[in-house]
Amino acid sequence: MASKDDKNDEKPKTGSDEKQEEHSPDHSDSLMDKIAHFFSDKLHLTSQTSDEEDSGRQVLNHVTIQGVIDAWKRGLFKNIVTMVGAGISTSAGIPDFRSPTSGLYSNLQKYNLPYPEAIFEIDYFRENPQPFFKLAKELYPGTFKPTPSHYFVKILQDKGLLLRHYSQNIDTLERIAGIDDEKLVEAHGTFYTNHCIDCQKEYAMEWMKDEIFKDSVPTCPECNGLVKPDIVFFGENLPERFYVLPHRDFKQCDLLIIMGTSLTVQPFASLVDFVSDNCVRLLINRDKVGKTTSGFLRGVFFGEGLCFDLPGNRRDVAYEGDCDDGCLFLADQLGFGDALREMVKTEHERIDKESGKTNSDQKESKEEESSKDSLDDRPEEEQSKEKLLKESDGKDSDVKSSI
């Protein structure tokens, strides 16, 4: 950055000078640098350099999943950070966003949206909040149970190994699994708290749940504004914790576990680059994602991504498969597989008991809901005919009973 005296010595630019500079080869690079610095300043982060870190030290004897397990057994990982996305919740029945047939965006046609992403846009929400609250009823916490992946993170916490858990998910399953508030960074917000979008009055989760399940649009009694769960919509800032804590966490992290995320949504995805050069990075995902980007994207997002299969890679390892399978495999290899399975079993039983539901009750409820949805999807003319037939049958039965 130029000093104050340097700025005073600068000559004012003419219009032709500015135009020439705009089309110069270095202009786009300069713009990318400015954008990169903006994100870096906002997150209070700077990527590690060889001057700051001993980049020659290799933690893994073998850059494989077995190498990670061996290093873990040697006690080399004491400050684990986890980064997760929708993939850790799909086995609970919660859709991810982008799968071609089962993803959330591919199943929003029934809400008559101008485009799928509109359901999470704050401006559209102000104009038409009904689609969001209909979707919220389907996805509302309490309907789903945490997965083995969630409980794997819980065990890391119980063992004193979890430094922080960064989640893109809004389903609150981490909280249900017992991960402490202090350990959580819900980067894209949560259903756990709710605020009026006008006067900012806070409302409890139970209040919001009652409103949503009454099929009403929650409004603030104080100002009549819309009340929204504190999930981050397009056009809103991420939670303050996301901007404050990475500065501390990623410097200390010695093992970064990334699960169930496409690593395409920024600035969350760029966090993988702000651990030290000696930090091992383990991806548990169906596909290898987050790989080294092009020069253009690297300029924008100030990071090189994960370096699988590249010459010189000495710390990035991928387990390609379902998140739950990967977590169970790791737990088995590290000696707490049985404890993880027992935790899943007992916690699911506890949740069922507290909610007053048995497994059979849940199955019947889902079947009834599915049957109702399929009936409601029929043409209106067909539904009207059925209604008339029912009314006719009712009248016939009344006549028979009177006879």
H or E element that contains 81: strand 80-84
DSSP code of residue 237: P
Rounded distance, CA 193 to CA 187, Å?
14
Residues marked as catalytic: 188
Instruction: Classify 14 in phi/psi space as left (phi over 0), alpha (psi -120 to 50) or beta.
Output: beta
In DSSP notation, 285-346 reads ESS--SBPPPHHHHHHHT---B-TT-TT--SEEEEES-HHHHHHHHHHHHT-HHHHHHHHHH
Which residues does the annotation place in the binding site for NAD(+)? 86-90, 96-98, 168-171, 261-262, 285-287, 323
What strands, in cross-sheet order, belong to the sheet with 202-203?
202-203, 189-196, 227-231
Rounded distance, CA 383 to CA 127, Å?
30
In DSSP notation, 168-227 reads ---S-HHHHHT--GGGEEETTEEEEEEEETTT--EE-HHHHHHHHHTT---B-TTT--BE
Rounded distance, CA 91 to CA 326, Å?
13
Rounded distance, CA 304 to CA 39, Å?
15
Which residues does the annotation place in the binding site for Zn(2+)? 196, 199, 220, 223
Rounded distance, CA 25 to CA 76, Å?
46
CA 234 from centre of chain = 14
* Alpha-carbon distances, residue 285 vs 186, 204, 317 (angstroms): 20, 34, 11
Instruction: Classify 99 in phi/psi space as left (phi over 0), alpha (psi -120 to 50) or beta.
Output: beta
Q: For 110, what's the count of Cα atoms within 13 Å in the CB-facing half-sphere?
A: 10
Q: Tokens in use for 70?
A: 């061996």
Sign of the Cα pseudo-torsion (325, 331, 336, 340, in order): negative
Specify whether the CB–CB gap between 370 and 364 falls below 8 A.
no
User: Which residue, chain included where needed, has tokens 């409302």?
Assistant: 203
